C-alpha cells in the first residue's frame, strides 16, 4: 500500500464465527449475506465463510453478485433485489439466482430461461414481495411447468420481535400468503436473519437462514430479566400476545475488522493557535499533534471528532475537524513518526459511542482503503 491506512481483517475469526453459528443453530441452508462489499470486509472473505459452513451467498445487486462470483465460481448466489429482465442472460451464465418480487415482474419474465428463482413474500414491511396469496399461487403453478426452477421462497422481518408483535404478525402473514401452495415442493424456505435467529425458534417449515451482521461478529445479546423485571416482562408478553423469545445466547462471535492508519506528520502548536477547518479547535496550551492520512472519505465518520484512537496501547483524542483525507490527534513525546494508529478495533463499542449502528460503521469504510487479510499468520493485501 502507498499510504498506511488500511482495514485488517482476520479470516480465521470469520470462519470460526460461521462454525459457531452452524453448530448451535441447525439449518440446511446458511446464506452468507455479503452485500455492501461484505459489510465493508471486502468480497475476498467469501471462501473463508464457505469453509466455516456457508453454502449459499446473497448480495443486493447484479453488480455485487458478479463481483462475488470472481471469488468463487461454484457456490450459488441469490440476488436479493430484482434484476432488470434484459440482463437475466448474465444470471444464467454466472449461476445467479433471481428474486421474483411481484406479479408485474413475473409477467415480463421469460420462463423459458434456465434460471433458479426465489419468490419474495411481503409479510408486512411493504418493500419487495407479494401481498396476494392468489398471485403467489399463480406464480407457483406457472413455474411448475417452466424451464425456470422455483428453488426458494422467503420473506424479511422488520423487527426482531422482542418488544413488539411485528415478528409474530409477519410469520402469520407469511403462512397466510403461502396457504394456497405446497411449501414442501419448494426446496429452500428462508425467513430469518441474524437478529431473529437468536431470538426465535426456527419455524418448523423453514430450512434456511440468512446471516448478515452475525457473520461479522455481532449477535444480539440482552440480559435475561430477573425478579420484578421478569414479572413485568412476562405480563407484557401476555398482554400483547407475543410469543416467547430468547434474550440471551451462547454464541461466541468476534469482530474480525480493525481500521488502522499511521502518524505521517508531527507538528508543534502553540497556545491560542487553531487546528483544521473552521478554526473550531483552539489549543488552550502548547501541544503536539500528529496528522493521519485518513478522513471521512475513507470511513472515519465525522462523529469520531473528540473520540480517541490508540497508539502503542495508549489513547489519544482526535482534535479539530475531520477532513476528507486527514485527521489530527493530540499526542505526547512518546509518539513517533510512522507509529501505527488503531482507529478502532472494538466495532461494537465504537458504534455505541458514536450513536450509530454497526452496519453504518462498517459500510462507511470506502474502497480506497486497502483491505489486508490475515489467515494463520499469512497476510494478503487487496486494493480496490
* Average confidence score pLDDT of the chain: 94
- Look at residues 111, 38, 127 and name the one whose alpha carbon lies nearest to residue 77: 38
Separation between Cα atoms, residue 152 and residue 141, nearest integer Å = 14
Look up residue 271 and give its DSSP letter.
T
Query: Lowest-pLDDT range, 285-294, 315-324, 348-357?
Result: 348-357
Helices 133-144 and 166-177 pack at an angle, to 10 degrees, of 50
User: 94, 75 in Cβ contact below 8 A?
Assistant: no
Q: According to DSSP H, which parts of the chain are helical?
A: 11-24, 35-39, 46-52, 62-69, 88-93, 103-107, 133-144, 166-177, 194-199, 227-239, 347-354, 358-363
The values of phi and psi at residue 288, to 5°, are -115, 135
Is residue 98 very low, low, confident or very high in pLDDT (cuts 50, 70, 90)? very high
Is residue 219 very low, low, confident or very high in pLDDT (cuts 50, 70, 90)? confident
DSSP string covering 308-321: EEEETTEEEEEES-
Share of the chain above pLDDT 70, in %: 99
Residue 31 CA, chain-centre distance (Å), reads 12
pLDDT at 68: 97
Residues in the chain: 384
Say if residue 1 is exposed, middle or buried (CB neighbours under 10 Å; 0-12, 13-18, 19+). exposed
Read off the pLDDT of residues 236-267 as tens digits, 9 standing for 90 and up. Answer: 778 878 887 887 888 999 999 999 999 999 99
pTM: 0.93
**CA-CA distances (angstroms) from residue 197 to 110, 183, 215, 252, 374?**
35, 21, 12, 14, 28
Residue 76 confidence (pLDDT) above 70: yes
User: 130, 103 in Cβ contact below 8 A?
Assistant: yes
Domains parsed from the chain with CATH numbers? 11-239 (3.20.20.10), 257-345 (2.40.37.10)
Separation between Cα atoms, residue 269 and residue 290, nearest integer Å = 11
- Look at residues 136, 133, 107 and name the one whose alpha carbon lies nearest to residue 119: 136
pLDDT at 237: 78
For residues 105-132, give the mean pLDDT: 96
The x, y and z cell numbers of residue 232, run together, are 413485568
Amino acid at each position: 500500500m502507498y499510504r498506511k491506512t488500511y482495514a485488517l481483517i482476520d479470516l480465521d475469526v470469520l470462519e470460526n464465527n460461521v462454525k459457531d453459528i452452524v453448530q448451535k443453530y441447525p439449518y440446511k441452508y446458511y446464506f452468507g449475506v455479503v452485500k455492501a462489499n461484505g459489510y465493508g470486509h471486502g468480497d475476498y472473505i467469501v471462501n473463508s465463510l464457505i469453509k466455516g459452513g456457508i453454502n449459499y451467498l446473497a448480495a443486493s445487486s447484479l453488480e455485487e453478485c458478479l463481483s462475488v462470483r470472481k471469488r468463487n465460481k461454484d457456490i450459488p448466489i441469490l440476488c436479493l433485489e430484482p434484476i432488470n429482465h434484459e440482463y437475466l442472460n448474465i444470471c444464467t451464465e454466472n449461476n445467479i439466482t433471481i428474486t421474483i418480487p411481484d406479479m408485474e415482474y413475473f409477467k415480463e419474465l421469460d420462463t423459458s430461461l434456465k434460471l433458479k428463482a426465489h419468490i419474495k413474500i411481503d409479510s408486512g414491511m411493504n418493500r419487495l414481495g407479494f401481498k396476494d396469496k392468489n398471485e403467489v399461487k399463480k406464480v407457483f403453478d406457472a413455474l411448475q411447468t417452466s424451464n425456470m426452477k422455483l428453488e426458494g421462497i422467503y420473506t424479511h422481518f422488520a423487527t426482531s420481535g422482542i418488544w413488539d408483535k411485528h415478528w409474530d404478525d409477519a410469520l402469520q402473514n407469511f403462512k397466510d400468503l403461502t396457504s394456497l401452495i405446497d411449501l414442501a415442493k419448494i426446496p429452500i424456505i428462508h425467513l430469518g436473519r441474524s437478529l431473529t435467529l437468536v431470538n426465535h425458534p426456527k419455524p418448523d417449515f423453514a430450512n434456511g437462514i440468512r446471516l448478515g451482521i452475525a457473520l461479522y461478529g455481532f449477535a444480539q445479546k440482552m440480559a435475561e430479566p430477573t425478579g420484578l423485571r421478569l414479572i413485568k416482562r412476562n405480563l407484557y408478553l401476555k398482554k400483547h400476545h407475543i410469543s416467547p423469545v430468547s434474550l440471551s445466547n451462547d454464541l461466541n462471535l468476534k469482530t474480525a475488522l480493525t481500521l488502522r492508519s499511521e502518524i505521517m506528520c508531527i507538528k508543534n502548536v502553540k497556545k491560542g493557535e487553531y487546528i483544521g477547518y473552521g478554526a473550531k479547535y483552539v489549543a488552550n496550551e502548547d501541544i503536539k499533534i500528529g496528522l493521519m492520512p485518513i478522513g471521512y472519505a475513507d470511513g472515519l465518520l465525522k462523529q469520531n471528532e473528540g473520540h480517541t484512537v490508540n497508539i502503542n496501547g495508549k489513547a489519544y483524542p482526535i482534535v479539530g475537524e475531520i477532513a476528507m483525507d486527514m485527521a489530527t490527534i493530540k499526542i505526547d513525546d512518546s509518539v513517533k513518526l510512522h507509529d501505527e494508529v488503531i482507529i478502532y478495533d472494538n466495532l461494537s463499542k465504537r458504534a455505541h459511542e458514536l450513536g450509530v449502528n454497526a452496519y453504518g460503521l462498517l459500510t462507511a469504510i470506502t474502497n480506497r482503503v486497502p483491505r489486508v487479510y490475515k489467515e494463520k499468520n499469512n497476510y494478503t493485501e487487496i486494493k480496490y
